[in-house]
Amino acid sequence: MQTLFLRGPSATLRMIILVIISLALMTADHRWKHLDAVRNTLSYLLYPVEYVVDLPIRLYYWSEETLGTHQSLIDENRQLRDLQLQSRVQLQKLDILEKENERLRRLLSATPKTTEDHLIAEIIAVDVDPYRHFIVLNKGSIDGVYKGQPIIDAHGIMGQIVYVNAMTSTAMLVTDVSHAIPVQIDRTGQRSVAFGTGQTDYLDLRHIPHNADIRVGDKLISSGLGERFPRNYPLAVITNINRDTGETFIDVRAEPLAQLDTSREVLLVWTQNHEKPTPGLEQPVAQPVEQAAEEPVEELAEKHAEEPVEEAAEESSDGGE
């Protein structure tokens, strides 16, 4: 007699099997990176979904720009012209200072300052978890983005790339609890480390002694230690200092300068240890070592074998005359 309903494994057994499979997959991904190919494939499939989800915001900004009044556009254009003029004057001063600095470095036999390459990227998604400050950018490995690459906006450092897909990349903001960046005070040059607190409005500076020369309003810039972030990029401004005599170190908080909640575009920065790829530029093919070593030797041998014979012939003919 056949039963009407077939009984499968119990819910507890199925849960245990799924937990074991999940642990095995997490271990394989964390230790041996076996799921990178799967993740890249899924990123190709999910990119259209991310684009469609971000499409209403794109339409909103597009309609806001398109439906603006004529007078507001004229006023905005006038303001932009004034800002452009001021920026040109400042750039001229910076150009003069940079050339003067380069001349002084040459006199001191110092290493010349290099200029980092940049690439504009757009934020297409934000992590909804309030305890994780992550954003998704529309640039990936095909654009030369690499893990650990710094990102900045028009005001200061925003964070760094922590994962790269083919067409997108994920960045961790400086306010995430897992993030830390070496900094120094612009006024005094004192070094420290700025830690993320999980709050977007302040960072935490630790292990600063009571006798440190630090004030409210001091600007924090990247020190370049660790060779992850380039030097002298603005990060934050100190807003609060608590000098509790019962504590070993003082409590210092700083407000990030970057617009972490409102920025729509960011800049990807290529540091000195990484070069920005040039699209369409083919790398020259290196000659084999044997061929590169044999050709100059044969040419030099023929040249040195022929020249003395001709010179000796000319000298003997001159002497005979």
**Nearest alpha carbon to residue 116 among 205, 224, 201:** 224
pLDDT above 50 for 112: no
**Nearest alpha carbon to residue 135 among 156, 117, 162:** 162
pLDDT digits (tens, 9 = 90+) for 25-40: 888 877 777 777 787 8
Give residue 8's pLDDT band: very low, low, confident or very high (50, 70, 90): low
Could you tell me which residues are beta bridge partners of residue 242?
251
| Pairwise CA distance, residues 225 & 33, whole Å | 29
pLDDT above 70 for 289: no
State the pLDDT at residue 20: 92
Percent of all residues in the chain with a pLDDT value above 70, rounded to a whole number: 80
HEC string of the chain equals CCCCCCCCCCHHHHHHHHHHHHHHHHHHHHHHCCCHHHHHHHHHHHHHHHHHHHHHHHHHHHHHHHCCCHHHHHHHHHHHHHHHHHHHHHHHHHHHHHHHHHHHHHHCCCCCCCCCEEEEEEEEEECCCCCCCEEEECCCHHHCCCCCCEEECCCCEEEEEEEECCCCEEEEECCCCCCEEEEEECCCCCEEEEEECCCCCCEEEEEECCCCCCCCCCEEEECCHHHCCCCCCEEEEEEEEECCCCCCCEEEEEEECCCCCCCCEEEEEECCCCCCCCCCCCCCCCCCHHHHHHHHHHHHHHHHHHHHHHHHHHHHHHHHC
Q: Which amino acid is at 10?
A: S
Give residue 308's pLDDT band: very low, low, confident or very high (50, 70, 90): very low
- Domains by residue range for the chain, with CATH: 16-66 (no CATH), 117-272 (2.40.10.340)
> Of residues 111 and 51, which shows the higher confidence score?
51
pLDDT digits (tens, 9 = 90+) for 48-59: 888 888 888 888
**pTM tops 0.75, yes or no:** no
